[in-house]
Amino acid sequence: MNALEQLRQSSTVVADTGDFQQLAQFAPQDATTNPSLVLKAVHMPAYQPLLARSVRDEPAAATDDIVDRVLIAFGCEILKLVPGRVSTEVDARLSFDTAATVARARRLIAAYRAAGVEPARVLIKIAATWEGIQAARVLEAEGIHTNLTLLFALPQAIACADAGVTLISPFVGRIYDWHRNAAGSAWDADANAGERDPGVQSVTRIWRHFRAHGITTEVMAASFRHVGQILALAGCDLLTISPGLLAELAASPAAVPRVLDPAAVALEPAQAALDESRFRLDMNRDAMATEKLAEGIRQFEADALALEQLVEAERLRIA
């Protein structure tokens, strides 16, 4: 078996892409998208008809509604190619508004239903701010499953578990980037590889905490920079991987031993649920998590605005 086939024996493989035409060759169980990935895809000739159709079907609709329709169009095409779930993201500009996030998530699920997709096949992606986590609590109680993204620290993970979130997406590569940039010329890549990679260590800590305490929230490691980070997390519940890295794994004959093994998880003291003030204090103490969460929201906001501009340009074109 190649490395990708071996990896499937211990982790569920998820494709991290908006380019759904690449999915079939890797046969992932699920797929994730975000505004950045969809924005990149709609610039490709193969996907421009999805944008045109979304505008043409409801030309008088509000721009943000049409953007959601574009996201759902991608999600529906992806679900034709994967047997599991697709993650679709709420507008990042709502990351600090619980009520607005809940309303937008309900709208996305209603649109998926109208397209013939059952809610069980959709994960609503929400930034793991305090407000986003509280929105997820409401949605999960309604049977709408959530994927809390831009997650960089254990306090975010603990708050998500307390809210009954279905799945969290702790980031590996962005944590690695922060520590590398902070160290500057003193950074030693070899000394921070494999299990010593700070992004790998963060995800491992979260996964072990969840397994030690019987927390059912799924852990899906995300944001990989290279194959070594993926292999160091073999055994994590899910791994969402870009097409380029999936191709590398499929071409590799290397052995892939399971690293994260539930049978080897040691008991550890339980941590109390976090109220808002403790959550914000713990996040404020973690410069990396605070900075990367804010940066990620800004990036997704910028890409959402770029998608809106494409929608407006298409509206003018077909007028």
pLDDT at position 109 is 98
Structural domains in the chain (count): 1
Which CATH number fits the domain that encloses residue 100? 3.20.20.70
pLDDT at position 231 is 98
Q: Report the alpha-carbon angle 57-307-80, nearest 5.
A: 60
- CA 111 vs CA 39, 184, 315: distances in Å: 20, 47, 20
Q: Report the alpha-carbon angle 124-234-148, nearest 5.
A: 20
The alpha carbon of 3 is separated from its chain's Cα centroid by a whole number of angstroms, namely 23
Angle formed by the axes of helices 35-42 and 287-318, to 10°?
30
pLDDT at position 35 is 84
Domain extent, residue 73, equals 3-318
Q: What amino acid is encoded at 63 in this protein? A: T
pLDDT along the chain (319 residues), means of 10: 97 94 91 90 91 89 93 94 96 98 98 97 98 98 98 97 98 98 97 97 96 96 97 98 96 96 84 91 98 97 94 88
Is 125 assigned a catalytic role? yes
Catalytic residue among 40, 80, 125, 292: 125
pLDDT at position 34 is 87
pLDDT digits over 83-142, tens only?
999 999 999 999 999 999 999 999 999 999 999 999 999 999 999 999 999 999 999 999
Q: How far apart are CA 281 and CA 230, in angstroms?
A: 31
Q: How far apart are CA 284 and CA 286, in angstroms?
A: 5
